[in-house]
Amino acid sequence: MSKSFTINGLNYAVQRAGSGHPLLMLHGFTGTGATWQPLWQMLQSNYALIATDLIGHGRTDAPDNSDRYAMQHAAADLIALLDQLNVDRCHLLGYSMGGRLALYTATIYPERIHTLTLESSSPGLRTADERAERRARDNTLAGRIENESIDAFVTFWESLPLWASQAETLSPQAQADLRAERLSQRTHGLANSLRGMGTGVQPALWDALPALKLPVQLIVGEQDAKFIGINREMLAALPHAQMTVIPAAGHTAHLENPPVFAQTLLDFLTKNG
């Protein structure tokens, strides 16, 4: 079931299915809530699934002011959505950009989160110099997105080494579906997402990890060496965490190996249910 909710002045597109304890699912940059569809049949008999298009993406509003995309506002939107759905506490799953937002939300609103699962994600960049360099790169990319067609940007985006594993792990239909999802975006929504929610502007959360007391699962693909390293560091800092490396997968493990990803998630949620 798909529905629009007015959240803090913006229309958010939300898909829901299943029954049981709520599981809120957050997609990555250039994605939508539809990215989780390959998992729904495996999860909806046990959990009430909530997949929202994040600000600037899919069918959710894309404001012109990039400040509206900042983590504190995006997290407040998620909590307001839970309030509208009468959800006191939920399991929270976030992928990549959605994982950074999920981690921020869990650190600010821990009383609303039962468990946290982060896929191919990070707590941000540690130093001011690293963040400044990343902001400059993201601002350049945002300008490129605005000055080119969405088709040209998607072609560039798909050529990045981060997605190299998808040529082997995704079927032709899955690759076509992922490309269609990317092509459905709006240039100003993506550009403002980078400016307002990019890794260079988000608060660094490394120092917040030791205080995060809820159960955390870190998931990475075995072909994603960079994020395996980042998540090992996160694992050492988190007091109640576990880490799983998904075989035959890269950065988008939930799409590249859905059965193993879903079972890994179910095992963690059942253990901490």
Cβ atoms 24, 78 nearer than 8 A: yes
Per-residue pLDDT of 84-101, as tens digits, reads: 999 999 999 999 999 999
Categorize the per-residue pLDDT at 273 as very low, low, confident or very high, splitting at 50, 70 and 90. Answer: confident
Residue 70 has pLDDT above 90, yes or no: yes
User: Residue 175, by phi and psi: left (phi above 0), alpha (psi -120 to 50) or beta?
Assistant: alpha
CA-nearest of 97, 95, 61 to 77 is 61
Tell me the average pLDDT across 163-188. Answer: 95
**For position 72, which CATH number holds?**
3.40.50.1820
Q: 187: part of which helix (H) or strand (E)?
A: helix 187-197
Per-residue pLDDT of 99-140, as tens digits, reads: 999 999 999 999 999 999 999 999 999 999 999 999 999 999
Residue 18 has pLDDT above 80, yes or no: yes
Residue 1 has pLDDT above 90, yes or no: no
23: three-class secondary structure by DSSP = strand
What Cα–Cα distance (Å) separates residue 23 from each residue in 3, 40, 78, 170?
Answer: 17, 11, 12, 25
**Who contacts 194 (Cβ-Cβ below 8 Å, separation ≥6)?**
29, 138, 139, 141, 142, 145
Tell me the average pLDDT across 39-55. Answer: 96
Tell me the C-alpha distance between 264 and 111, whole Å.
24
For the record, the structure tokens of 95 come out as: 């992928």
Q: Per the structure, how many domains does the chain have?
A: 1
Residue 48 has pLDDT above 80, yes or no: yes
In this prediction, residue 271 carries a pLDDT of 94
Query: By residue range, what is the domain housing residue 91?
Result: 2-271
Residue 2 has pLDDT above 90, yes or no: no
Tell me the average pLDDT across 233-248. Answer: 98
Beta-strand relationship, 2-7 and 10-17? antiparallel
